[in-house]
Amino acid sequence: MQTAKDPADLLVDHIDGDPHNNRFVNLRLATSRQNQCNQKTRNDNTSGLKGVSWSEERQKWQTGIQVNGKRIALGRFNTKEEAYAAYCEAARRLHGEFARLD
């Protein structure tokens, strides 16, 4: 995980992802990469689960995660729930407190 050397490089991150929820308990300092780990599932996501997509070629659900600007494939699965479980485990391990599990 990236660490900032200069406090000026830190951003304010909303733990619950709601930019209107500015209660102190919902705010924390984060690097840009940590802030990106806490992003919500994209609107164009067709599986409804963060990190999970359908592989037409393999006819399986696949999952991957972004770490330090690189995509890491986590595998292919028979169900999207299995794929999402693999994503969640990796997100907790790799992103720690900044892992967003929708």
Domain ranges of the chain: 7-98
Render pLDDT for 13-51 as a digit per residue (tens, 0 to 9).
Answer: 999 999 999 999 999 999 999 999 999 999 999 999 999
**Rounded CA separation 63/86 (Å):** 7
Q: Where are the alpha helices (DSSP H) in 1-102?
A: 32-37, 80-95
Here the tokens at position 48 are 């409804």
pLDDT at 3 over 60: no
3-class DSSP state for residue 75?
Answer: strand
pTM value is 0.87
Q: How many CB atoms lie within 10 A of CB 14?
A: 17
Listed in order, strand segments (DSSP E) in 6-69 are 11-14, 27-30, 52-55, 60-67
Task: Tell me which CATH homologous superfamily contains domain 7-98.
Answer: AP2/ERF domain (3.30.730.10)
